[in-house]
Amino acid sequence: MDWITAALLSAVSIGMVNILDSHLITKRMPSLRAYLMMASIFILGYAIVISILTPLPEGVAAWPLVVAIISGLIRSAGLGILLYTLKTEEVSRVVPVVYTYPVLVAILAGPILGESLGMLQWIAIFIVVTGAVMVAVKRNHKGITGWLGRSFLLLLLASLSLAVAEVASKYALGYITSWNLYWITAFCVAGIFLTISLRRSVIKQISSVVKQTKTMLIVFTKETLAVVGMVLLFWALERGPVSLVSTISGSRPLFVFIFAWLLSRLWKGFLLEDKTVGTALAIRLLATAMIVAGIAIIYLA
| % the chain with pLDDT above 90 | 32
Provide the sign of the torsion angle of the four alpha carbons 300, 167, 18, 150, taken in this order: negative
CA distance 208 to 1: 43
Pick 252 or 230 by higher pLDDT. 230
CA distance 73 to 269: 34
CA distance 250 to 108: 16
Pick 249 or 131 by higher pLDDT. 249
pLDDT at 153 over 80: no
CA distance 189 to 210: 21
118's torsion region: left (phi>0), alpha (psi -120 to 50) or beta? Answer: beta
- pLDDT band at residue 136 using 50, 70 and 90 as cut-offs: low
Q: Which helix (H) or strand (E) holds 138?
A: strand 138-139
pLDDT on residue 6:
94
pLDDT at 81 over 90: no
pLDDT on residue 171:
94
Per-residue pLDDT reduced to its tens digit, 161-172:
988 999 999 999
- pLDDT band at residue 259 using 50, 70 and 90 as cut-offs: confident
- pLDDT band at residue 127 using 50, 70 and 90 as cut-offs: confident
CA distance 198 to 53: 28
pLDDT on residue 164:
92
The pTM for the full model equals 0.81
pLDDT on residue 209:
83
Average pLDDT value for the chain: 82
Which domain range does residue 261 map to?
Answer: 3-300
Stretch among 4-8, 154-158, 290-294 having the lowest mean pLDDT: 290-294
Q: Which residues of 72-82 are buried (b: 16+ CB within 10 A; e: fewer)?
A: bbbbbbbbbbb
What total number of domains does the chain contain? 1
Asked if 213 and 73 touch (Cβ cutoff 8 Å), the reply is no
Residue 32 main-chain phi, psi, to 5 deg: -65, -40
pLDDT at 264 over 60: yes
Residue 134 main-chain phi, psi, to 5 deg: -65, -25
pLDDT at 234 over 80: yes
Distances (CA, A) of 233 to 44, 172, 226: 19, 14, 10
Q: Which residues contact 224 (CB under 8 A, 6 or more apart)?
A: none
Stretch among 63-67, 211-215, 290-294 having the lowest mean pLDDT: 290-294
